[in-house]
Amino acid sequence: MDNTVLLEDLDAFAYREALASGEAVVLIPVGSLEQHGPHLPLGTDTALASRIAVGVATRLGALVAQPIAYGYKSQQKSGGGNHLPGTTSLDGASLVGVTRNLVKSFLGQGVRHVVFINGHYENYQFLYEGIDLALEELGLGSGSDTSVLLLSYWDFVSADTLARVYPAGFPGWDIEHGGVLETSLMLHLAPERVAMERVIDGPAAALPRFDRLPVVPGRTPPSGCLSSAAGSDAAKGRLLYEQVVGDLVEDLATELWVAPMGLAVPA
């Protein structure tokens, strides 16, 4: 039963038993509430990170905490920009603060490893900073037998999968916002929340090599997506999901239970 991995559904006594092993792993999905065009829901990033986390946790025997459902400000070159309606963001200090608190709270309770599964590009550095500050406060340095892992799920998409999802060539992660990857994943995982008939097709956004602030709104395509979702389907989503979850399970299993400290991860 999927439910058993959700921390919010566990009672405190059952959770205490889970901690007693000394091997508890908690996954924290991180997303955003962010416009994803007319065909995807505002909660896409959080939904994808959460579903992937549940998939990984189920196979791994880990727990999934409530997601961080609001993310760092959407940037024009990766998410269309923070000025678009629906995009509801945290500043850096707040996201760092939440992250820092969760790490300190979970490790303080006796969790062995915390893993952040990120689904919103802009979050990464602030999550990193929150983790680093927490470990410094906890006095944990190299050689510690507890750890925090941070990753974005798309970094686990293999070259082979990419080639199959984008038969005409992968256009690049930078314009994958509301595009084929996210839409296909949603079609696989939550088809009732996708409206393919509302997809606005057209060329990908052509953005400058710099960020300009305040943003020039006209540079974001009217759809709010940086590339077209046309061509998305549930089969691609299933492929992406299965491959990514599979790789995550393998990497985390190796890293958190097997890999001796101080050695390079096997290729």
Expressed in angstroms, the distance from the first to the final Cα of the chain is: 33
Q: Which is nearer to its own copies, 183 or 237 (CB)?
A: 183
Alpha carbons 90 and 14: distance in angstroms, whole number: 33
Query: What CA–CA distance (Å, rounded) separates 62 from 85?
Result: 36
List binders of its own copies among 76-105 (CB under 8 A): 82-94, 96-98, 100-102, 105
Assess contact for 160 and 3: CB atoms under 8 A.
no
**Helix, strand, or coil (residue 252):** helix
Tell me the closest approach of the beta carbon of residue 109 to its own copies, in angstroms.
Answer: 5
Residues 32-51 that bind its own copies (CB under 8 A): 33, 35-43, 46-47
Binding mask 185-204 for its own copies (x = CB under 8 A): --------x-x--x------
Residue from 160, 172, 217, 257 in contact with its own copies (CB under 8 A): 217
Task: State yes or no: is 34 an active-site residue.
Answer: yes
Nearer to its own copies, 168 or 264 (CB): 264
Catalytically annotated residue among 39, 113, 177, 188: 177
9: left (phi over 0), alpha (psi -120 to 50) or beta: alpha
Least distance (Å) between residue 119 CB and its own copies: 13
Contact 209, 17 (CB under 8 A): no
- Name the residue with tokens 């439910």: 3
Is 83 among the catalytic positions?
no
- Minimum gap (Å) between residue 59 Cβ and its own copies: 17
**What span, in angstroms and rounded, lies between the C-alpha atoms of 51 and 262?**
32
Our finding on whether 241 is near its own copies (CB under 8 A) is: no
122 included as an active-site residue: yes
Which entry of 39, 113, 120, 188 is annotated as an active-site residue?
120
Is 39 an active-site residue?
Answer: no
Give CA–CA dist 121/142, Å, rounded. 27
- Shortest distance (Å) from residue 141 CB to its own copies: 5
Please report the DSSP string for 148-169 in residue order: EEEEEGGGG--HHHHHHH-TT-
Window contacting its own copies (CB under 8 A); options: 52-60, 140-148, 162-170, 230-238: 140-148
Q: Which of 48, 72, 181, 186 binds its own copies (CB under 8 A)?
A: 72
Residues with catalytic function: 34, 36, 45, 120, 122, 177, 182
